[in-house]
Amino acid sequence: MLRLGLIGSPIKHSLSPWIHRHLLQRANIPGSYELFEIHSGRQLSRAMKQLKEQLHGFNVTVPYKETIIPHLDMLDDTARYCGAVNTVVKIKNQWIGYNTDGIGYIRSLQASYPQFFSRKKNKVLIIGAGGAARGIYFSLIDEGFINIDIANRTVKNAKEMVRDSTIPTKVYDLKGIHDMIHSYDLIIQTTSVGMHPLENETVISLSNIKPDTIVSDIVYQPVYTKFLKEARSLKANIHFGHMMLLYQAIYAFEIWTGKHVQSDDLAQRLKNKLERN
Ligand code: ATR
């Protein structure tokens, strides 16, 4: 019996149990995925002993993605670079922290736009410089992309993010990027703008984009953010946030079980579920 779970707060509405129970079923693995709501850092310290005894692995979400780190024995490269962990697994009695966001994002993009990966010179713009942006930036470089720029509200945070990068990366503020936006092949929105309570806002205007640009938003509630609606009206290609949610979960499941589950239809089912909410 494989015991999995999620720690964080608030997590009542998390879609992770829905996704992972499907994956367990499809992989034919008897197991469970439970929610562990933890209300404070002190409670986290106390709960870790119990979680380590009870579980084989677990996901971590806000606000513990960083504070979990001192409780772990080791980090993988992405988690170390991002300074944030979203997946924990026990291997030979060692607790190892991973961050599946970046690789999950890459795989979700590969599933929807495989042709994008045949041209590593494609120009990418990441909007935002938080944990998710870091994971995506790191994984795109790992994938061989060499033209990646960042636009962020606070330029200092973006500069800090790319400080030790292996590729030259230009940094813009949100106003400065407007005149450049037509030059990008992929634009990835990683901030919380567009998500409730900011669902009527967009982080930048897309009015200057090329028609064949891929516009991606990692916000998945609502499914069609205002940003993606604008992209669609400009005839851009759209990449939805729930795709990353699904593929980062599938990668976490692979870390726990070593099994890759066929899941093409789950994306549509997840989208339907989000649209009903
Ligand atoms: P996560 O770890 O989920 O990516 P985060 O670390 O809180 O979230 O990152 C938030 C990102 O969204 C940052 O790039 C932040 O910009 P700043 O560096 O200027 O703080 C950006 N962000 C958050 N709210 C925003 C807003 N209202 N307008 C523009 N950018 C915003």
Atom 21 in ligand 1: residue holding the nearest Cα: 191
- In this predicted structure, the answer to whether residue 227 has a pLDDT above a threshold of 90 is yes
Measured in angstroms, how far is the CA atom of residue 132 from the centroid of ligand 1? 10
Mean pLDDT of 206-223: 96
Supply the pLDDT for residue 263. 81
Please enumerate in sequence order all residues whose Cβ is within 8 A of that of 136, keeping only pairs 6 or more positions apart, or say none. 101, 102, 105, 106, 126, 188, 190, 218
* CA count, 13 A, side-chain hemisphere, 35: 15
State in Å: Cα 53 to ligand 1 middle: 35
* pLDDT value of position 95: 97
What is the pLDDT at residue 211?
A: 87
Proportion of the chain above pLDDT 90, given as a percent:
96
- Contact present, 166 and 81 (Cβ < 8 Å): no
204: which 2 tokens?
């930048």
Which tokens belong to 79? 């988690």
Cα(151) to ligand 1 centroid in Å equals 11
What is the distance in A from the centroid of ligand 1 to the CA of 2?
35
The amino acid sitting at 32 is S
Question: pLDDT tens-digit profile of 31-75?
Answer: 999 999 999 999 999 999 999 999 999 999 999 999 999 999 999
- Chain segment 77-112, per-residue pLDDT in tens: 999 999 999 999 999 989 999 999 999 999 999 999
Pairing between β-strand 123-127 and β-strand 186-189 as defined by DSSP bridges: parallel
The predicted structure's pLDDT at residue 262:
84
- In terms of pLDDT, which residue wins out, 209 or 276? 209
pLDDT at 277 over 80: no
Instruction: Please identify, by atom number, the ligand 1 atom nearest to the C-alpha of residue 84.
Output: 2
- The predicted pLDDT at position 264 comes to 80
Instruction: For residues 40 and 25, give the distance between their C-alpha atoms in angstroms, rounded to a whole number.
Output: 33
Q: Is the CB of 126 under 6 A from ligand 1?
A: no
Q: For residue 12, what pLDDT is reported?
A: 95
pLDDT surpassing 80 at residue 172: yes
Facing residues of 148 across strands? 124
Residue 190 near ligand 1, beta carbon < 6 Å: yes
- Mean per-residue pLDDT, 130-147: 96
Closest ligand 1 atom to residue 127 Cα is: 14
| 4-22 confidence digits (pLDDT tens) | 999 999 999 999 999 999 9
Angle separating helix axes 101-112 and 241-257, nearest 10 degrees = 120
Count Cβ atoms below 10 Å from residue 142 Cβ, excluding itself. Answer: 15
Give percent of the chain above pLDDT 70. Answer: 100
Query: Which pLDDT tens digit goes with each residue over 240-267?
Result: 999 999 999 999 999 999 999 988 899 9
- Render pLDDT for 261-276 as a digit per residue (tens, 0 to 9): 988 899 999 999 999 8
Q: What residues are labeled active site?
A: 65
Query: Mean pLDDT over all residues of the chain?
Result: 96
User: Per-residue pLDDT averaged across 116-127, rounded?
Assistant: 98
The secondary structure of the chain, three-state, reads: CEEEEEEECCCCCCCHHHHHHHHHHHCCCCEEEEEEECCCHHHHHHHHHHHHHHCCEEEECCCCCCCCHHHCCEECHHHHHHCCCCEEEEECCEEEEECCHHHHHHHHHHHHCHHHHHCCCCEEEEECCCHHHHHHHHHHHHCCCCEEEEECCCHHHHHHHHCCCCCCCCEECCCCCHHHHHHCCEEEECCCECECCCCCCCCCCCCCCCCCCEEEECCCCCCCCHHHHHHHHCCCEEECHHHHHHHHHHHHHHHHHCCCCCCHHHHHHHHHHHHHC
CB atoms within 10 A of CB 107: 19
Angle between helices 264-276 and 16-26 (to 10 degrees): 150
Residue nearest to atom 8 of ligand 1 (CA): 130
How many CB atoms are closer than 10 A to CB 277? Answer: 9
